[in-house]
Structure 1
Amino acid sequence: MTEDPPKRRTLSLKPGVQVTRPLGPQPLTPLKADRPARPPRAPRPFREPKPVERPAHGWKCKPCGTFFDPPAEGPDEEVIRCPNCNARLGIAGDFRQTPPPSRLRARPMRH
């Protein structure tokens, strides 16, 4: 078990390539001192975070999170669908009940 692992093959250049610079690591070049150092930056002024704007809509689709308003008028049997993902959310009569039934696929937004 004292066998050495096989040696790797030495890489070489393709035949006919002229070497224009020495192979191996490049020598380090000193930093240029002809340009003055940049002055330190001033700290940024503190800004109050923007207030979060509440949507003016009354409902939020559970599958995709889109805000929407169901129609205020119309037949109670009308099917309400999400304007974004077209999911069936319930019927219009269920959106008008207080409290809304749990079978709706939308949740009321608090104002």
Structure 2
Amino acid sequence: MNKYLDFIEDILDGTYDGSLKWHPVPKEKHAKQINEPWNIMRQFEAPITFEGSPAKLICVEKRMYIDDYLFPHEDRMCELMVISNDEVVKKIGPPILPWYWLSKFADKIAEAIGTPAVHRLA
């Protein structure tokens, strides 16, 4: 199995069983590590151990513009990043995984921590 899929499976399991302690953080918190920080809708963070060292797992939800020939529209996607010592050591999102696999992951985190899951596009 793809090593990223194994990592995602561990993250999903930890999110649902509560072992990952997600919490919302301000949109600008990790701006220097995120591409297009102005496009962030929500951001969540959880402490983890990565390769034996303490790190942060970040879920960044962003707007995404899909320029389909017939039906251009706006959607959202999530990127997952592991940050250690203010450096991104692992990033999971397109093209490693299709955007739609993580498109509503921020809702799943919000649901798991008991905050409103629906985040409408503005």
TM-score bracket for the superposition, by shorter chain length? under 0.3
Structure with the higher fraction of residues in strand conformation: 2
TM-score with structure 2 length normalisation?
Answer: 0.23
TM-score with structure 1 length normalisation?
Answer: 0.25
Q: Kindly name which structure, 1 or 2, has the bigger radius of gyration based on alpha carbons.
A: 1
